[in-house]
Structure formats: structure tokens, C-alpha cells
A and B are shown apart, each in its own frame.
Chain A
């Protein structure tokens, strides 16, 4: 890797693909502190089979195992791990970072659109992309709402501003923004190459998940679809060189479309939700991407005005990345009515010759689908939910008696609306044939309330909520659950008072890494669940740990930070009040064995 120190403030060349070009012009500026001179372009083939030691997709590969082939750090020596370097990330918003590694460089998404390139060996800053705050003139121009163009310090808390993952392809880093645009940033310099406004942020649209690249197409899923508007949620495919939109596929069945009657007679404007807020996976042989969709909004059937299935909410969609055409869909919970989201990661595993897709939603049901056809294969209820019955033969869900909310009536439900599983992605290890799943044990007394059915209204609907510990939890909020695949049998459980707050990472060294809300990062024996190494970090572990190697040394990187969903803090605050975390301290922390 060669670094040329360099460029002061530079303004990028912008290409006019924006529907809100003024917004782009005023929000986009970047500067570079260094220039990476030798950089090998990332190809489709490299994404599918990354060079040893690289981490080119948010979960390692397009199959999203969250698994590293590296084994230098293993069960025999992990207790010797040492901090090699740490780098502070912005505390101006939520951190849920999924770093990427290419040729010894770490590219890491930070809060509020910031992206940094770091020397992966020592943490030196190579370049930094930092969007400029909007000018007062633009804020007052009426070209966007204040919510869309707030000054940087206005997002100093939770909520918007998070960017979970970025993508790398060709010579670019790709990001999706809190103002509903996507950006291409020169991976060598950190300079903005193009920015495309995908949706109007004044309608509530924004991104928290970043893009993926599949078969040469840049693909992103939008969120912020909970308010009533004359449009619905969608996934788009773009030309990575220009940002030009190639296709757009709605994640909601429109009234005139097949499946449109699953929303009853609700007009388009009242078909909300189905946000695509977690990045998808890709199978190059089938040439299909797999993307989850969120629940319908408002959450409760009685509030949104239909007890229909509400396609394509809470589904897994299989799309052709070239044109966005839907090959198949599988709706996990038709007509979902309690905020039990199924949007999360799709893990692609071949089981006994069957090309399968595994995923788990808030209810804690591990689904196995045929990823070529969408056919149901198997579902395993991990046994903590009390809301639905699952037919293990057909995969059909039916609500238990009394568990469909009525306005104002109390439901005693497990899990709470926070879910047993969330964005904290599970990881698969082919060495143990097991899935490692971060679970939050919790329940809730819930009363669902009404909302205004008018343009701009809607949303999730209010919930009067009292959280309480799950009766089977022994007072613990966190559980790392290892399930054998495909049987679904429990291999082991590891419980902690604090909830786990990161994705799991598995390695060929027989290890699983994870971090909790109470600052403890752990390495466990993937076979036995024994804790082999722990360290306390600056604040909550939060994001997607990765492993990589440079010049023969294996590293483990763990992001920590705060912000994100409000319940990520409220659950431990209410149910484990003796635990406290610093409200700052966002950083990336990198560990290796002693030399």
C-alpha cells in the first residue's frame, strides 16, 4: 500500500442525476488528507470470492455468513489477544458500523455520512469523507424541510444518521444517506464522484442500510416508509459508474398489482411500511438478490385498517439484480400486527445439497427456505415467543387466542416490540454447522393505540408499553444462542445481564466473537460456548465485528458506539438499571496476537 499525502479541500465533480440537485450541491463536500496510490479495482469475482484476509461485503461475502476463514487466532491462543489500535469515530449520531477491508485498508462508515479510510495495521487516517452541513441559505430556501437539512449537531442523538454498511466495487466506496441519496466516493482519495437523490427526504424517506453490489448493479433498500404518502417503499438498482437508476421495485403491492387485494380496499397512500432497512444477500449462481422487508405500518391491523396479508411486508424477496424483477417472495408473518419485524439478514447456506436461505425475525423463528424457489423447508421456534403458533410442516403462522391487538386493550406479549432478534446479525460457522444468534430476552405489557389516517399521518401507531424480563431469562437480557443447522437443536446458550449489541462473528479458529451493551467484548469457543477471552471497551459494543489479515497477521475489529433505536438503550436502562455506559466513546478497536 502506498500513500501520498495530499489534498486539501476539494469539491467533487457532480453528475446531474439528482431529482433534488440543489440538495446535493449544498450537502456534498468532502476533503482528502491522503491519496492511496495503488489500489486494485474490486470486481464481481472478488466480491463473490474475496482474497484471503479481505472483508469486502458487510457480512464478509454475499452469502452473509459473518464468517472468516482466518485461523491464526484460535481457541488455543485467543486469551493472548491484545489491542493493537483504536480510532475514535464521530459521536454526532448512531454508530452501527460494518467496516470493509481491501488491500490493508479499512473503510468504515461513521455517523452522519462520514466515511474514513484507515491503515488497517496501525489505524492511520488515510482519507476522510465528511459531508458539509447545509448552508443557512439552503435551509431557508424551502427546498427541503428542516428535518432533511438540519445542521450537524441536530442529530447528536439516536435516530437518523446511522449508516450500517457501505459497499466497495470498482474504484468506489458506495454509501446510502440519511437524506435518501446514494453516494459514490473515490476509494483512493475520499472525494465524492457522484450523488444521486433516490427519494424525497421531505416525505420521510431515508437510508440506514447501505448498498450491495450484485452482478455489476448497485442496489439499495429505502426506509422511512411509515408515514402516509402518495408512494410506497422500494428497492432500487443503479449503474455503479453513474448512479443512474436502472430499476425500482416496490416492496408494497399496489392496488392494481397482483396481490394488491391483500391490503383490502386501502388506497396506495395508506399502504405504509415494508421498509427495506437491512442490506440483502446475493447468490451469483441463481443471479438473485435476497432482501427482507419490514412489517406493515401502522403496526396493529386494527389501526392500519385491514386484516389482510399486506404483501409484500415482512417477507423475503428474491429479485433479479439486473432488472429488479421478483422471482419469488415468501411472507413470513402475513398480516403481522405487533411490530414483529422479519426484515433482517439473509444467510445463504447449502444444506445437504439444497440451496437454502436462513433468517430470523423478532419472534425468534429460524426460517429455512429454498433460495432458488422460495419454497418453505423448515422453521424452528426457539421457544421464547407467546404470540403465534407455527405449523412446522407448512410454515404457516396463526395468532394465538387473544393475541391480535385491539385498541387500548392490554396484551401480555413476549417478545416486546423490541423483539428477540434485531439488526444484530447472526453468524454461521461451517466448521460447527451452527448458527450463532444474538437474542434479547424481554417481554412487554402493550396497549396499541390509534393514529390519524391522513396524508403525513400514520406512522407506527402509539403503544403504551411496560417492559419486563422474560420469565425464562433469570434476569438476563442477553443470550447468544448456538443452534445446530439444519436440525435447529440448541447447541449451547451463553447469557448475560446486558443485552448483546453487535452482530456475531465466527472464524475458522473455532471462535465466535460478540459484544454487549455493557462494554464487554467476548470470544467464545464455537463448539462449547466457553468464554475464552473478554475485554471492556469504551462504551457499548455496537455494530458488526470483522476479521481480516495484513502481511500474515490476523486482526479482529470491533466497533463500539451509542445511538440507534431508542429501545436499545431503554431496555437495559429499565430492566438492568445498575448498568451504565458512557454516552460517548464511539470507536473502532482492533486486536491481534502479540508478535
Chain B
């Protein structure tokens, strides 16, 4: 009996993977278009953006000579195919450049929500959380 346990375990693990993978794969492609933040979160994010980001990235998120644009073709060129987890971590660890990582985590999440909103990614019913696994599962893709 003992010798069969690994096999059973493996079978169970494989089954879980088989069950999860297609769903997970589907989520990766579509989740960002099903709403991964709330309008309230994006509104808070606008305040964060105005206080901490606008001086470099501009009111319209278009950036300037020293700071990349965060909207439109430029944003999608930089971030398409990468995950929200990467985007969040980039901002959280490097921004604002004069005090990187010094904002509350919630502020970073909110400003990501605001940037998604400005890029016409739809709002959802649940706020974005800092769960890294979840963020890493959400791919930034065109509709």
C-alpha cells in the first residue's frame, strides 16, 4: 500500500494541475478584461498619482523625456505580454524615484488601478489585492 501512495499522490496532483491549468490559462488571457480593480480604487489611485507621479509622467500619463508614458500605444509597447505582478513590482520597488518603495503598498495598488482605468481596462467588483500569485497570473494583453 505504501508504495502506491506516491502514485496516488502524483495522480491527484496531476488531476489538480489538469483541472487548474485550462482555467488558469484562460484567466491569464482574459482576466484583465473582466475587471481586476474597482472604480473607488482607481479614484484613490488618481490622488496618489497626482501627488507622487504626475510631475514626471504628466497629467495625461504621457510621460516626458525622462519618464515613460503610461498610456496608449506606449504603455502597451512597454507592458504587453507582461503581468500585472511585474508592473506592480516595478512601480513598488522603483517609484517614486526620489523615494522608491516608500509609499504604502495600498497606494501602489491604487495607482496601478488608476493606470489600468486610464488605459480603458474595465473596472470590476473586487479591488486589486497585493497577492503576488494573483497579480502574476494576470497578463497585460490587448482586448
Contact = CB atoms under 8 A, between A and B. Distances in A.
A449 B63 contact: no
A159 B50 CA distance: 14
Given A159-B66, A566-B67, A451 B55 contact: no
B35 interface: no
Nearest to A298: B74
Contacts of B51: 153-154, 156
Contacts of A492: none
Contact of B78 (A160, A204, A462): A462
Q: Which of B51, B52, B69, B99 has the most CB of A within 10 A?
A: B69
Contacts of A374: none
A157 B99 contact: yes
A61 interface: no
A157 B63 contact: no
B142 interface: no
Report the interface size class on chain B.
20 to 34
Contact of B64 (A153, A161, A459, A464): A459
Interface in A72-86: none
A158 B50 contact: no
Contacts of A459: 62-65, 69, 74
Contact of B56 (A158, A450, A462): A158
A161 B55 contact: yes
Interface stretch (A259-267, A398-406, A515-523, A567-575): A567-575
Contacts of B64: 159, 204, 224, 226, 459-460
Contact of B50 (A154, A450, A563): A154
SS class, residues of chain A in contact with chain B: loop
A147 interface: yes
B69 to A, nearest CB: 6
B98 A562 contact: yes
A224 B68 CA distance: 14
A457 B72 CA distance: 10
Q: Which of B65, B67, B73, B102 has the most CB of A within 10 A?
A: B65
Contacts of B78: 449, 462, 464
A12 interface: no
A145 B69 CA distance: 18
Contacts of B75: 462
Interface of A: 93, 145-147, 150, 153-161, 204, 223-224, 226-227, 275, 297, 408, 449-452, 456-457, 459-464, 562-563, 565-567, 569-570, 573, 583
22 contacts: A147-B54, A150-B50, A150-B54, A150-B55, A154-B50, A154-B55, A158-B56, A158-B96, A159-B56, A226-B64, A450-B73, A451-B69, A451-B72, A451-B74, A459-B64, A459-B69, A462-B68, A462-B77, A563-B98, A566-B67, A569-B98, A573-B94
